[in-house]
Amino acid sequence: MAYEVKKIEEIHDEILRSTLKNGSYTKLYSFKHVINAFAVRTTASQAKKLKKTKGVKAVEEDKGVKLMTTYTPDFLELPQQVWPKISSDGARRAGEDIVIGFVDTGINPTHPSFAALDLTNPYSSNISRLNFSGDCETGPLFPAGSCNGKIISARFFSAGARASVALNSSLDILSPFDASGHGSHVASIAAGNAGVPVIVDGFFYGQASGMAPRARIAVYKAIYPSIGTLVDVIAAIDQAIMDGVDVLTLSVGPDEPPVDKPTVLGIFDLAMLLARKAGVFVVQAVGNNGPSPSSVLSYSPWVVGVAAGSTDRSYPASLILDGGQTVYGVGLSGPTLGAPLLQHRLVLARDAFRTNGSVLQPLTSDIEECQRPDNFDPAAVFGTIVICTFSDGFYNQMSTVRAITQTARTLGFMGFILIANPRFGDYVAEPVLFSAPGILIPTVSAAQIILRYYEEKTYRDKRGIVTQFGARGRIDEGRNSVFDGKAPVVSRFSSRGPAFIDANRNLLDVLKPDILAPGHQIWGAWSLPSAFDPILTGRSFAILSGTSMATPHIAGIGALIKQLNPSWTPAMIASAISTTADEYDSSGEVISTESYEISALFPSNHFDHGAGHVNPARALDPGLVLPAGFEDYISFLCSLPNINPVTIRAATGVSCTTALSHPANLNHPSVTISALKESLVVRRSFQNVSNKTETYLGSVLPPNGTTVRLIPSYFTVPPQRTQDLDIEFNVTQVLNKFTFGEVVLTGSLNHIIRIPLSVKTI
């Protein structure tokens, strides 16, 4: 290996000597470990000459670099449009004195995202002014001092877990320490320190920051690698309410709705209702069961259910076949040795498995999928790029990419490719931090290009055994990001509405999801044991996708709104986020969504993206908000059909003294009507939270099959005063399906309020 590295540097020097006059250039670097290239100071004419030189694939001018990684702060324009509005110190005060609670897998207290090292702007050790009373429990890997001012409380809850299984003390770690990585990742997205370098396997990806980088963190560990129980989660939520968190982040939740009771009266939803009653802004992941309809696991109007979407950043990976053809895929790894100058032999896994003399062994899926080193002839695969195939093992979730990388490292693969299998069709691939050069080829069409080339260059005897491997190629650098994608796009996995009220899937007159936030390919802090995903073991950062990643974005943004408006209730914060959301993407088109087809995009609707994609800058100054309190939610519950008031009292401790005339009359920043017959009038009450009188003009995009009238169609509202708005729906056509529209209130001081409409005419 050392010989090859030295040879690469000699090739660089020879290219320069043979092309440019000695003394007319200055060689700066030979890059030979992660990319085969050199840096040289030349004139423009010399650069053109180099570009034409044999062996030089490309010449690129160094135009400087811009440091970025979690990127979502920039994507959401926090440094430019949000943090400066909160404080002239920007990120150094964003989230100051707001406590965000995380019910999750714990936290890694030694991670720099949670350090208290800013000597010029130290965290105060006096938390009494925060109206918060936490505790710092200690234990394995979480010694005294782990609560450092950034982390101000840490507890763990394990009674349910210990009652269910025998916890492994070395794996599960009975302390607030994060043995998984998930909790640390989530906490860093919402409240991680600003400007933390993200370095993985020696590669610098940029700098990370949470949404509210000065917010304090309260940890409530309730999920363990061996098991997670609802009772531990509920105990954690309960303690968080008692401690006095301002914001509660729930990137965890039940796997399925309750069977024997209404969804909104399940214990998880009731716990969130009590949190809302206590003044806590609660955010919840809607789940990763998309794109199936009614797959959301968030139901109640008192919690913000968060869907996941993409940003415009991606990490393209490419396989270059000998002859120049490029096949694009997914990966997050360095290039094969010598790229872009050196090509390596390609070997299909099924052509390199160990044989018993001349007897052919039956081909099994773990051979095709490169799962075990002892399946292969070491001499056949050493120094080659091995083509593995997505087969039964991956389809049944028994095989792993980690096993491929272990096989590759054990046998000395130069790299690996995991191609799609026509038997199973295209598969969904996400960037993975590979410890060996690798690329995922998730489409059958791209896989067939590789296989056709391979067969053209491979010679076999009459039995089909390879006598000569002739196919060659290389894997190029896959860790550099590009920023040119259509964004946001609702992620395929993100759960969809409409929400339902019971196990029979009767529909609920509540919009879910509530909001869309970045949740695709998100960088965040990690924990070295990495029980969540063994492929990430030993790493301090990870890139993940899921509504778990979208949820802390809204938690952090909610913390910023709370910091700027400390008297606002959770409903006001939720309203500000929803009514200011964007329904259009970066190209000015309606937000798209992924669906069942791997490469296709479709227009999204409210059941995909809720009110739209969060716009933090506008949410800080919404103009109008829709207030609602605990009593309003009780009235909502009492208006739901087929729920006995005795059941509601038993669940909430409150009697049904009043009920809404229709569930859609809850003062909520959306209107959802699951069964509209003839006509219905719903009312919304708006409060002017600006410091100026403003006049609003209403307009409507009615859902298909309806007409919608606003009464009044325009109004003037002074500061801190309220204005009622009646929205009258009339059926013009019975469609027996949901259609979508919106009410838009345009203010004279440039505030714009959007109320999503989702209506099913029957």
Provide DSSP, 664-727. GGS--SSEEEEEE-SEEEEEEEEEE-SSS-EEEEEEEEPPTTEEEEEESSEEEE-TT-EEEEEE
Q: Which residues of 190-223 are buried (b: 16+ CB within 10 A; e: fewer)?
A: bbbbbebebebeeeebbbbbbbbbbbbbbbbbbb
**Whole-angstrom distance, CA of residue 748 vs CA of residue 12:** 64
Distances (CA, A) of 271 to 241, 300, 586, 621: 9, 11, 38, 30
The two tokens of residue 448 are 């067939």
**Whole-angstrom distance, CA of residue 407 vs CA of residue 395:** 19
**Whole-angstrom distance, CA of residue 434 vs CA of residue 426:** 21
State the DSSP code for 565: -
Among candidate residues 207, 160, 186, 212, the one with its CA nearest the CA of residue 107: 186
Q: Which residues pair with 695 in a beta bridge?
A: 716
State the DSSP code for 729: E
Query: Annotated active-site positions, please?
Result: 104, 182, 548
Distances (CA, A) of 559 to 75, 99, 311: 18, 8, 22
Among candidate residues 502, 505, 509, 507, the one with its CA nearest the CA of residue 260: 502
Distances (CA, A) of 641 to 502, 627, 644, 645: 11, 24, 9, 10
Q: Which residues pair with 182 in a beta bridge?
A: none
**Whole-angstrom distance, CA of residue 738 vs CA of residue 232:** 38
Among candidate residues 78, 68, 195, the one with its CA nearest the CA of residue 560: 78
Q: Which helix (H) or strand (E) holds 40?
A: strand 37-41
**Whole-angstrom distance, CA of residue 300 vs CA of residue 269:** 7
